[in-house]
Amino acid sequence: MRKAFVPFIAVLVLAVPAQSQAATIAVTIKATSFSPKNITINQGDTVKWTNGDKVDHQIVANKGSFASAVLKPGQSYSFTFNTSGGFSYHDALHPSIAGAVYVKGPPPSISIGVNLPIIDYGAQTVLSGTVSSGKANEQVLVLAQPYGSSAQQVATLMTGAGGTFSYATSPTILTAYSVRWKTATSQTVTVQVRPSITLTRTGKTRLFTRVKATPSFAGRTVYVQRLSGFGQWVTVEKLKLGPNSGRIFTAPHRKGTSTYRIYMTTNQAGTGYLATSSNSVRVHYRQ
């Protein structure tokens, strides 16, 4: 029987550089303005307002996300911004004094994984991942680089709930995949491909094998293997494939029932392909 390959999820995530240590940015409250009036900070940073005037002031966000008590001369108020976006604010005691804090969020990132990293020619595998925003309707580009070729865009996807996406694909040769979202590009995942080999019976002891993949395998060598009593596959004969990458042959004569398969090495499969084997077939000789 064909060797069993246990599928696993291969997930590679674009690493997001760790943010630098949170900073505290000072803003001075003057008689007629904030200094500086508008500031841009990173998510997680803290803004500290200090009353540098001779009268009272009070910091209030326009949309209510933060508010200080009344600050007497020399007193301070601090607020840590854990959400990205723009925050306009003003002095509740002197409304003409206004300012804004612009908070930068973490850089965009995108993950990618593949449920079957090794497939037979003609089979399908599924790429999946998530964008860091966690939002639906985000555009994701899928890039594929088949062995010996340059990378090219093969699909445009829209994220679903939670910022997730998936894409079914059937690569015909070793192929590396990556995805892009906004300014972020994921790392790559690789899907390896085995040529597809079938073994069928055309008579009691006559068998037919054929190898399928993008190139022709005419003239290549495959091996007839028998399952031993110890559960190991033993090579008993080699065959040269015909013009259609196939070959009709007679099973080796062996009294009783024997189980056979066809095996192709990596060298015979060629660059961009893995070694592979066919399904198994039983053959019975009475004598």
Which of 282, 247, 252, 279 has the alpha carbon at shortest distance from 263?
A: 279
CA 46 – CA 27 distance, rounded (Å): 11
Q: What phi and psi, each to the nearest 5 degrees, are found at residue 122? A: 95, -15
pTM score above 0.75: no
pLDDT in tens, 27-47: 999 999 999 999 999 999 999
Topology of the domain comprising 108-193: Immunoglobulin-like (2.60.40)
The class of domain 24-104 in CATH terms is mainly beta
Cβ contacts of residue 222 below 8 Å, gap of 6+? 197, 209, 211, 238, 239, 241, 247, 262, 263, 264, 268
Spatial neighbors of 184 by CB under 8 A, at least 6 apart, are 14, 107, 108, 109, 110, 131, 132
Domain spans of the chain?
A: 24-104, 108-193, 195-285
Amino acid sitting at position 22: A
Q: Which of 46, 49, 59, 39 is nearest to 101 (CA)?
A: 39
pLDDT (tens digit, 9 = 90+) per residue, 193-203?
999 999 999 99
pLDDT in tens, 174-225: 999 999 999 999 999 999 999 999 999 999 999 999 999 999 999 999 999 9
Residue 269, H or E segment: helix 266-269
State the pLDDT at residue 20.
54
All residue ranges of the chain with pLDDT < 70 are 1-20
Query: Which architecture does CATH list for 195-285?
Result: Sandwich (2.60)
For strands 24-29 and 34-35, give the pairing: antiparallel
